[in-house]
């Protein structure tokens, strides 16, 4: 349990390094630091000296039918060996096919065939990185006619069979629930609690007939309500605020992390104790057991 963190963004590098703001941890975008040297790595060294970090990627393309990019995975492993993140995460999606990168996090068909395909690839990645990974649910705007199960059945089966963790993006559940007209509570009720290692919180834009996961607004009240429900179901799990456009002053991000903390503080388990007391350990290193 790392506590309540903030996504590290370029606009806040100097502020974080110079003032060491009170925040529990940072999530960094792995690809921003997969470089030979220079300012990004200096920044990461400075941040890592004072905070726990988690490495969050956008390029693994775990669902693609293209071969895994072994150069990318080697760079990811090297970066992790140097900076020792608490864990590494990426998205349950595909970002390209046939050698073309679409630069988007695209949903998969929810089928047994896709489960087998993704599970084998996650196991391969975990062996190569020598650690378990977390997979994140993405927001989506279309669905495959071939799907034979719900998204929550799909991600739960993959996490169980690949023996990996889940990064549960509460905002993405809310966005997809609206876009596909399912009940977000059904999603939360079905995900295996022992697999949930981290939450994401973010803001989205409302386009009337659909919601778009833009990470450019404050977290909406309805998403906070869903977050509270997740907290009751899963207990205290490391939470992280993402903000990628119209990025505010760092203080607003820190306030959002504090609000997540306050929600956990206000919740009690049936014995009347704080949920934080039941915080569970992160994934075991022995992911191949």
| Rounded least distance, CB 27 to Fe ion, Å | 9
Give the binding range for Fe ion (CB under 5 A) out of 7-15, 59-67, 123-131, 196-204.
196-204
How many residues of this chain interact with Fe ion, rule: CB under 5 A? 2
Both tokens assigned to 78 = 């090297």
The answer to whether residue 90 forms part of the interface with Fe ion (CB under 5 A) is no
User: Is residue 64 within 8 Å of 107, Cβ to Cβ?
Assistant: no
Question: Measuring CA to CA, which residue among 142, 117, 14 is closest to residue 63?
Answer: 117
Please enumerate in sequence order all residues whose Cβ is within 8 A of that of 103, keeping only pairs 6 or more positions apart, or say none: 95, 96
Q: 123 or 229: whose CB is closer to Fe ion?
A: 229
Q: x/- string (CB under 5 A) for Fe ion, residues 60-79?
A: --------------------
d(CA 23, CA 4) in angstroms, rounded, equals 7
Give the binding range for Fe ion (CB under 5 A) out of 64-72, 161-169, 204-212, 258-266.
161-169
Q: What is the SS3 assignment for 35? A: coil
The answer to whether residue 200 forms part of the interface with Fe ion (CB under 5 A) is yes
Q: 49 or 206: whose CB is closer to Fe ion?
A: 206
The residues with which 196 forms a beta bridge, in sequence order, are 166
The answer to whether residue 169 forms part of the interface with Fe ion (CB under 5 A) is yes
The answer to whether residue 9 forms part of the interface with Fe ion (CB under 5 A) is no
Q: 208 or 244: whose CB is closer to Fe ion?
A: 244
d(CA 96, CA 22) in angstroms, rounded, equals 38
Please enumerate in sequence order all residues whose Cβ is within 8 A of that of 217, keeping only pairs 6 or more positions apart, or say none: 203, 204, 205, 246
Q: Within 13 Å, how many C-alpha atoms sit on residue 244's CB side?
A: 13
The answer to whether residue 56 forms part of the interface with Fe ion (CB under 5 A) is no
The answer to whether residue 204 forms part of the interface with Fe ion (CB under 5 A) is no
| Rounded least distance, CB 283 to Fe ion, Å | 18
| Rounded least distance, CB 270 to Fe ion, Å | 30
Residues of the shown chain interacting with Fe ion in the complex, contacts defined by CB under 5 A: 169, 200
């Amino acid at each position: 349990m790392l506590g309540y963190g903030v996504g590290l963004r370029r606009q806040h590098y100097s502020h974080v390094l110079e003032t060491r703001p009170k925040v529990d941890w940072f999530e960094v975008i792995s690809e921003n630091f997969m470089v030979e040297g220079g300012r990004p790595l200096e920044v990461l060294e400075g941040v890592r000296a004072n905070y726990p970090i988690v490495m969050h990627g956008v390029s693994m393309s775990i669902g693609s039918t293209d071969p895994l990019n072994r150069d990318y995975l080697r760079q990811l492993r090297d970066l992790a060996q140097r900076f020792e993140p608490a864990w590494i995460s990426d998205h349950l999606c595909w970002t390209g096919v046939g050698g073309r990168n679409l630069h988007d996090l695209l949903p998969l068909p929810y089928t047994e065939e896709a489960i087998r395909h993704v599970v084998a690839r996650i196991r391969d990645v975990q062996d190569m990185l020598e650690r378990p990974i977390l997979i994140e649910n993405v927001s989506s705007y279309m669905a495959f006619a071939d799907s034979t199960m719900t998204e929550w059945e799909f991600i739960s089966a993959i996490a169980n069979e690949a023996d990996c963790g889940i990064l549960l993006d509460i905002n993405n559940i809310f966005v997809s629930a609206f876009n596909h007209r399912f009940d977000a509570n059904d999603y939360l009720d079905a995900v295996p609690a022992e697999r949930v290692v981290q939450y994401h919180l973010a803001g989205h834009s409302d386009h009337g007939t659909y919601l778009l996961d833009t990470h450019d607004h404050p977290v909406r009240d309805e998403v906070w309500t869903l977050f509270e429900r997740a907290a009751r179901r899963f207990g205290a799990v490391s939470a992280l605020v993402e903000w990628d456009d119209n990025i505010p002053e760092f203080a607003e991000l820190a306030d959002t992390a504090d609000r997540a903390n306050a929600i956990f503080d206000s919740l009690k388990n049936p014995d009347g104790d704080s949920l934080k007391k039941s915080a569970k350990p992160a994934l075991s290193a022995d992911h191949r057991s």
